[in-house]
Amino acid sequence: MSDNASERADGGDEVSQSSTRVRFARISPRAYEHPADRGAMAALRAVPGVGEVLKGAAGLFSERGERLMATASMVRVGEKQYPKIDRLRHEVAEVLDLDVVPAVYVHRQPEVQALTVGIDEPFIVLSTGLVELLDTEALRFVLGHEMGHVLSGHSVLRTLLDRLLNLQKTVSFIPAGVLGLAAVIAALREWFRKAELTADRAGLLASQDPAAALRTHLYLAGATDLGQVDIPSFLAQAREYEEVDDVRDSIHKLRNVVFASHPFAVVRASQLQRWAASEEYRAILTGDYPRRDDEAPAASFTDDLRSAARSYKESFDSSVDPLVKILNNVGGTVSGAAGRVFRGFGGKDASGN
């Protein structure tokens, strides 16, 4: 990567000072959570038996064992080990005002990957493939993304999802068990894909650098030398993906995402760049955001669903995807027919007429 070779996370450049960034004192994760994340979480809570399954999964494994494995097989970041990442770790935690700075480990893995593990004391794992590829500010965005998972409590469910996936392999010979786990796992996967959009927003707040966030998504998609990549063309890919004009492509999109753990890189880039240009993001930068200490009790299931419904409706209304158009048209036709039938029995439609 010729234009970024001097900015590797383990190179010799200095980490920029956090004093130049806004610090979000006691920021609540609800300030930046994607509404679809809230809705998916509400839907997850509605899956029959999910609470019991998650409680059972939580008790099947020891978090101490996971931490010991990381200590035994990875490099723990500190003042003398990956000191630059250690400084970034503290800077990001300061900007997001985390009460506890999560431990970070670097794991030998060629794939570009970062994850947050743990329930009581979440810790972050970065692959060597990611550390070797990303420049400093892109790595800051990734650490902010992972600490966003911690602040929102995502790491708890992500850890349980990983445990359930392992458990599923051991009970595959019990059909009823497989069906029960499959429903919970599918709901968890759908939630986690939406949670990634929330964590991307946290990463942007940590870095306050939309260009660094975009570079990260470029790297995740396959860029190695930014001199060989055209950013407008990359963002055009997102529009092309979102604006397919063949229903067969729409079905392929659904098939491809069902078992994915993350939204696709070009989609994440497009979503986050839109948020970076929004009034909501600018308001947070000026200090207009909810604080953790002043929060009312958590929003109700109904409130979360309403928030998600608004988000999905806005996406559907603006979508040119043919499958979405069909669903919208069918929904409108069914709604209109139901209203006419209802009026035929002397009732009123939804508008009160």
SS3 at position 105? strand
Per-residue pLDDT tens for 83-108?
999 999 999 999 999 999 999 999 99
Instruction: Report percent pLDDT > 90 for the chain.
Output: 41
- Domains of the chain, by residue range, sit at 5-225+265-314
Q: Going by C-beta distance under 8 Å and a sequence separation of 6 or more, which residues neighbour residue 219?
A: 112, 133, 134, 138
The pLDDT value recorded for residue 55 is: 56
59 neighbors 93 (Cβ within 8 angstroms): no
CA pair distance 279, 285, nearest whole angstrom: 10
Residue 273 in this model has a pLDDT that exceeds 90: yes
Residue with tokens 């996370």: 9
Sheet holding 104-107, edge to edge: 75-76, 104-107, 123-127, 114-117
Cα distances from 252 to residues 20, 194, 347, in angstroms, run 45, 19, 42
The pLDDT value recorded for residue 1 is: 38
Is the pTM value of this prediction over 0.85?
no
- The residues facing 124 across adjacent strands are 104, 116
What HEC string does 172-204 produce? CCCHHHHHHHHHHHHHHHHHHHHHHHHHHHHHH
Residue with tokens 């920021």: 27
Per-residue pLDDT tens for 29-71?
999 998 878 766 666 656 666 556 655 655 555 678 889 999 9
Q: Residue 202 class from Cβ within 10 Å (0-12 exposed, 13-18 middle, 19+ buried)? A: buried
Per-residue pLDDT tens for 115-152?
998 877 899 999 999 999 999 999 999 999 999 999 98
